Amino acid sequence: MLGYMNAEALEKTQAEGKVTFFSRSKNRLWTKGETSNNFLYVKELFVDCDNDTILIKADAVGPTCHTGSRSCFKTDFNQNFIFELENIINDRYENPVEGSYINKMRSKGLNKIAQKVGEEGVETVIAALAESEEELIGEASDLLFHLMFLLKEKGLSIQDIAKNLEKRHK
C-alpha cells in the first residue's frame, strides 16, 4: 500500500514498531489496523537517496487493504482472495442471507460442516490421483472453502493457521 507519513507518524512507527500514517483527510495520525486489527509490523525501514520517500517492509496481519485484499492496487491476480473469502464467510455469519449455502449448512450443525470437509478431502485425493488438473483445482478449492467455513464455525481463522505454520517453520 501507499500512505503518507509526516515526521510524527514516522516517530510513532519507529517507537511502536507498527506502521502509522498521517491521514490528510482526517487530519490525524492513524495506525494501520487500529480498527481492523490488520496491523503492519515493521521489519525493515529504508529511506531513499533524496530523503523524501520511505519504504517499509512489514509483516502484515491479515489483508492490507480495507477491501480485504492483500494490496490496495488492483491487479489481474489477487493472491490473497482467500482473505477476501474469509471476510465473505464472516459477513454471512454476521448478516445471514436467507437461502445462502452457508446459512443452510450452519442450520445443519457442526457435524455436517465437518463431514463436508472430509468429503471434499476425499474428492481432492481422488482428483489428484485420477482426474485432470482442472478437476483437482476445483476439488481443492471446495476443500479449502469448507475448511475455512469449519474454522469459522469453531471460532478460528486463516490467521490462526498461518501463525501455527509459521511457528512450525522456525
Contact 26, 33 (CB under 8 A): no
pLDDT in tens, 103-126: 999 999 999 999 999 999 999 999
Q: What is the reported pTM?
A: 0.60
Q: What residue spans define the domains of the chain?
A: 7-60, 81-169
Residue 73, pLDDT > 80, answer no
With cut-offs at 50, 70 and 90, classify the pLDDT of residue 75.
low
Q: What is the DSSP letter of 18?
A: B
Closest CA to 87 of 121, 36, 30, 138: 36
CA distance 20 to 9: 5
How many residues belong to the chain? Answer: 170
Are the beta carbons of 45 and 39 closer than 8 angstroms? Answer: no
CATH value of 7-60 in 2.60.40.10, 3.40.50.12240, 3.10.20.810, 3.30.420.10:
3.10.20.810
In whole angstroms, give the CA distance from residue 97 to residue 161. 27
pLDDT at 145 over 80: yes
- Domain 81-169 fold: Helix Hairpins (1.10.287)
Residue 73, classed as helix, strand or coil, is coil
